[in-house]
């Protein structure tokens, strides 16, 4: 189950960051980046050392996944993200928690966007994902990519418009997934705060109410990023 979840998470993150059904296609409507917009040598990107979720950020009942499972998920997750997406953000800090009582899984990662060009492209990708036609393309692409894996199917895709105003730029969506007959729902929020890109997903049994929603998870992570780079807030 963990391997299949990491597969979906990696493909979802990669396609969200790519924001285009063709990996090699340029971002539609992405701003043109000039040389003046590149980060200067004197600029130091904010550190992300403390920009990570902990158990203290979550309601009672959650626990960290065993290190070997977390490492397995993180490895496959990072590989898939880098294969699917050409975005400059690379997974840096990866955390995963589970509530065994209601089978709710929380996954989050942060990655550095060290220059203004990368930040602008990242923001443009998030803005694209708010367009219905791009959302349909993303759903279709996920379905096509998952055809190679038995027992996994995307049943539904809907935007989470209440997550469109997080941090400096953001987007949100929810997926209904059938995993070997198990109906799951995956709520995702992607955002940028300063020079940090972040991806959060809350997975739970479809039809149940999560103990903590993805919006609250994203806001807690955003707060950690703000704390770790207060002088860079913009």
- Enter the tokens of residue 108: 């989050």
Rounded distance between C-alpha atoms, residue 15 and residue 157, angstroms: 13
Residues 6+ away with beta carbon under 8 Å from 219? 166
Q: Which helix (H) or strand (E) holds 120?
A: helix 116-128
pTM of the model as a whole? 0.79
Which residue, 157, 93, 166, 92, is CA-closest to 126? 166
The pLDDT of 220-231, averaged and rounded, is: 84
At the topology level of CATH, where does 91-229 sit? Answer: Protein Transport Mog1p; Chain A (3.40.1000)
Range with lowest mean pLDDT among 30-39, 58-67, 94-103: 30-39
**What digits encode the pLDDT tens for the residues 122-155?**
898 888 888 999 888 888 888 887 877 777 888 8
Q: Is the pLDDT of residue 25 over 60?
A: no
The pLDDT of 36-65, averaged and rounded, is: 66
Task: Check: CB of residue 234 under 8 Å from CB of residue 205.
Answer: no
Task: Check: CB of residue 208 under 8 Å from CB of residue 102.
Answer: yes
The pLDDT of 63-83, averaged and rounded, is: 73
């Amino acid at each position: 189950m963990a391997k299949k979840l990491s597969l979906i998470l990696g493909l979802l993150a990669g396609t969200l960051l790519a924001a285009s059904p063709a990996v090699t296609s340029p971002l539609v409507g992405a701003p043109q980046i000039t040389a003046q917009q590149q980060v200067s040598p004197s600029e130091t990107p904010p550190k992300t050392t403390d920009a990570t979720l902990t158990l203290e950020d979550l309601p009672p009942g959650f626990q960290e996944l065993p290190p070997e499972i977390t490492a397995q998920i993180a490895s496959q997750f990072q590989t898939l993200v880098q294969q699917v997406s050409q975005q400059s953000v690379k997974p840096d800090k990866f955390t995963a928690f589970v509530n065994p009582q209601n089978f709710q899984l929380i996954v989050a990662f942060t990655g550095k966007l060290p220059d203004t060009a990368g930040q602008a492209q990242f923001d443009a990708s998030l803005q694209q994902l708010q367009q219905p036609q791009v959302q349909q393309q993303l759903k279709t692409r996920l379905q096509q990519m998952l055809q190679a894996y038995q027992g996994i199917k995307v049943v539904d895709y809907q935007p989470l418009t209440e997550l469109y105003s997080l941090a400096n730029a953001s987007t949100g969506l929810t997926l209904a997934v059938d995993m070997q007959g198990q109906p799951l729902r995956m709520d995702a929020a992607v955002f940028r705060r300063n020079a940090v890109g972040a991806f959060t997903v809350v997975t739970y049994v479809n039809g149940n109410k999560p103990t903590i929603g993805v919006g609250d998870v994203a806001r807690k992570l955003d707060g950690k990023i703000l704390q770790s780079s207060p002088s860079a807030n913009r």
